[in-house]
A = this chain, B = another copy of it.
Amino acid sequence: MSTQKAAHAGERTTSLGIIVFPGYQPLDVWGPLDIFYSLSRYKKLSLAIIAKQAGPISSRVPSHSMSPGGPIQQSPSTLAPKIVATHSFDDAPALDIILVPGGGGNRLFESTNDTSIEDFVSSRYPELQYLLSVCTGAATLARAGLLEGRRATSNKASWNWVIQHGKNVTWVPTARWVVDGNIWTSSGVAAGLDMTYAFLKHYYGENDQEVKDTMNAIEYAPHTDPHWDPFSIVHKVPGADASGSLSDVTKPAGY
């Protein structure tokens, strides 16, 4: 973002919408959200947590069968912490930024023919400034057709499943996050924290002191190299850059 635009971003209220669904991965949401929450001490931000229906949404994947009449499968992760969705897809406010998380529940959308998230994101995309995904949330963006002709990345442990989605997507196998136009996609789960820091520096300006102070306030030393991705090696992603290092140097923001 140009310096002029970046300065402008600091003056008006930025409307953030985060999508949730049963079986979303907790940190996909709450990692970026903690940064936005902490930054709201300084910046004008508003937040909508958006789901098919407002109310409590559990991270436990609903019991399901992957085919009609097939065996019932239970959630692999048994814990069921809940976030409260403040809005439904029908009454969500105007949004500048949408963040789409991933998680085990993501895999049920196809078997249940549930296109509600991709429909919502597609319908809102023209008015958005930015669209962000974390983890397997990129599969939702791909299904929505929004990654066509674009570069993107996703969770490395679920890579082979994710890349079946979408048409004409250039999936980048070794990347902590990828930027293409106004769509930012991150690798799995914790990568959302690093993408969010990079995004906020883009949005508010590279040298915005409040963004840096926020990272140091939450005592998170971000990975700042988008090419750092040892997990593409760990999870044996086809085409991963195996010459990449498994280790990386992190530093507090601004040092």
**Which residue numbers of A lie inside 8 Å of B, CB to CB?**
25-27, 29-31, 33-34, 36-38, 40-41, 45-47, 49, 56, 59, 76-84, 155-157, 187-191, 193, 216-221, 223, 230-231, 234-235, 246-252, 255
* CB-based contact B38/A34 at 8 Å: no
Task: Identify A248's interface contact among B191, B230, B231, B250, CB under 8 A.
Answer: B250
Residues of B within 8 A of A251 (CB): 230, 246-247
* CB-based contact B220/A234 at 8 Å: no
* CB-based contact A248/B219 at 8 Å: no
* CB-based contact B83/A187 at 8 Å: no
Query: Given A81-B83, A234-B252, A250-B247, does the pair A217, B157 have CB atoms closer than 8 Å?
Result: yes
Contacts A223-B250, A230-B255 known; list 11 others, CB within 8 Å: A30-B81, A33-B81, A40-B78, A45-B78, A46-B78, A47-B80, A49-B82, A81-B83, A82-B84, A190-B219, A221-B247
* CB-based contact A248/B220 at 8 Å: no
Nearest chain B CB to A82's CB is how many angstroms away? 4
* CB-based contact B220/A189 at 8 Å: yes
* CB-based contact A188/B219 at 8 Å: yes
* CB-based contact B219/A187 at 8 Å: yes
State A25–B31 Cα separation when bound (angstroms): 11
| 6 residue pairs, one from A and one from B, having the closest CB atoms | A30-B30, A27-B34, A190-B220, A82-B84, A189-B218, A188-B219
Nearest chain B CB to A32's CB is how many angstroms away? 10
Query: Given A27-B30, A82-B84, A252-B230, does the pair A37, B49 have CB atoms closer than 8 Å?
Result: no
The winner among A189, A190, A216 for most chain B CB atoms within 10 A is A190
